[in-house]
Amino acid sequence: MGLSRDEILAMLRSGAAEFVDLKLVDLPGTWHHITLPASEFRPEAFTEGIPFDGSSLRGFREIEESDMIMLPDPATAFRDPFNEHPTISVTCDVFDPAMQRFSRDPRRVAQAAEAHLKATGIGDAAYFGPELEFFVFDEVRYLVNPEESFFAIGSDESHWGAGDVGAPNLQHRIRSKSGYAPTPPTDQHQDLRSAMVLALKSCGLEVERHHHEVATAGQGEIGIRYDRLTASADHVMLYKYVVKNVARRSGRIATFMPKPLFGDNGSGMHTHQSISKGGTPLFYDRKGYGSLSETALHYIAGILSHAPALVGLTNATTNSYRRLVPGYEAPVNLVFAKGNRSAAIRVPITSQSPKAVRIEFRTPDATGNPYLSFAAMLMAGIDGVRRRLDPTVNGFGPVDKNIYHLTPEEAAGIQAVPGSLGEALEALEGDHEFLLEDGVFTEDLIRSWIDYKRREELHPINMRPTPMEFHMYLDI
């Protein structure tokens, strides 16, 4: 992934690429794009930028101040495999007309977080390795009207389709919570995930593995290589783009909704993290718990201390909190432990190599804006390091038992993440000073994020009755 300016311009001159597709990420975390024919993309675009309407992107500008500039970043360039005509895709940074960085540009926040790490002297590189889970369904139907609402999911893998008639029903169905890594024919998406892998590799991403995940109805995961913070956020955007487009080409739909199915495992984005300085890993200490250094423990304490506020960014939808409930390996408990998937922070113990020692924050999902999510995690970790917080004395563990099997006495004092988006936004509203250090986040951005989520997502959902409410309350 990534080309030089000269390589891009040479491809446009030679006809190897006929279009340049310029991508922008809005505040909630969705890609938008504007496409230029090769004849209209000039070298000055890399220094002077290209104008666009900022009032049409969510969370950016009002209509009276809509003129903005996008500046292509060649490091993000890839040949788009989903366009009929040869196209180079490039992600852009956002500036105002005076060529000052736009404070609400999510990529600016990620880049500023990396710069802040260097400025503290703690480290000079933050590495993030997200594990994105997703579902691939054969059909999704839904309706939201004042007088009726429903959703219906169809999947050839689902256990609820075992009695379907019509087309040949070849069975090999996956029972609820029984989908982890079966072989074909039970795993019906082997070739589809392989096609996704090949598309990701053609775009320049390093892919390590893929497999079916625990839930029925086509839950999968494709493992990509970790990278520095901003680059990893770029990779998340590309990952979602590729997975959705390959699924659509196959006549299916991919979704990163955390909890589309009741009673089965949801989809998260477990996020592995470490920092280094001068090429030396800072999280490693052979004698420490889980081979963790004091710096790593301070970092863990920072994340767990600020976790109620963090999830307002990392678990950014009402559906996120359908997943964050006890059970189903849901990482709701604010503790850390070695190899323990019931803890919010797991310390992987698969390798003792200093470079492999890391922490895994298991609570996030892919509905958050990855630039904001990763930046917020790093800022929380830095705050823990600077304040020398100790997770072992702050009630955060370690807990080397299945938390869901603890006695009430053993579980007493273990904190949990907020139970709803509303509670998470309240926590973020009350605890975000750590995000404002060095101007990484701004008060304006935090306020815009909270207001948008409450106005456009939380309130509309809270005001609507659901089919389950009719089931429970119609005859009261």
d(CA 227, CA 245) in angstroms, rounded, equals 24
**5 in active site:** no
d(CA 25, CA 372) in angstroms, rounded, equals 11
**443 in active site:** no
**133 in active site:** yes
Q: Which of 189, 270, 272, 432 is catalytic?
A: 270
**221 in active site:** yes
Q: Which of 6, 40, 48, 53 is catalytic?
A: 53
**147 in active site:** no
Q: Which of 360, 365, 383, 432 is catalytic?
A: 360
**Cross-strand bridge partners of residue 164:** none
Going through 330-459 in order, the beta strands assigned E by DSSP cover: 333-338, 343-347, 359-361
458: DSSP letter: I
Q: Which of 104, 212, 358, 362 is catalytic?
A: 362
**360 in active site:** yes
**Cross-strand bridge partners of residue 338:** 347
**73 in active site:** no
**84 in active site:** no
SS3 of residue 423 by DSSP: helix
40: left (phi over 0), alpha (psi -120 to 50) or beta: alpha
- Return the C-alpha torsion angle 114, 313, 349, 356, nearest 10: -20
Helices then strands (H, E): number in the chain? 13, 18
What DSSP string runs through 188-221?
TTHHHHHHHHHHHHHTT--EEEEEE-SSTTTEEE
Q: Which of 114, 156, 187, 221 is catalytic?
A: 221
> How far are the Cα atoms of 403, 416, 418 from residue 408, in angstroms, in the given order?
10, 15, 20
Q: Which of 341, 426, 431, 438 is catalytic?
A: 341
Q: Which of 124, 131, 423, 431 is catalytic?
A: 131
**213 in active site:** yes
Containing H/E element for 137? strand 125-137
Sequence letter at residue 425 = L
Q: Cβ(326)–Cβ(345) under 8 Å?
A: no
Sequence letter at residue 164 = D
> How far are the Cα atoms of 84, 166, 248 from residue 33, in angstroms, in the given order?
16, 41, 19
d(CA 296, CA 54) in angstroms, rounded, equals 40
d(CA 288, CA 425) in angstroms, rounded, equals 35
Q: Which of 133, 234, 264, 365 is catalytic?
A: 133
Which residues are known to be catalytic? 53, 131, 133, 213, 221, 270, 341, 360, 362
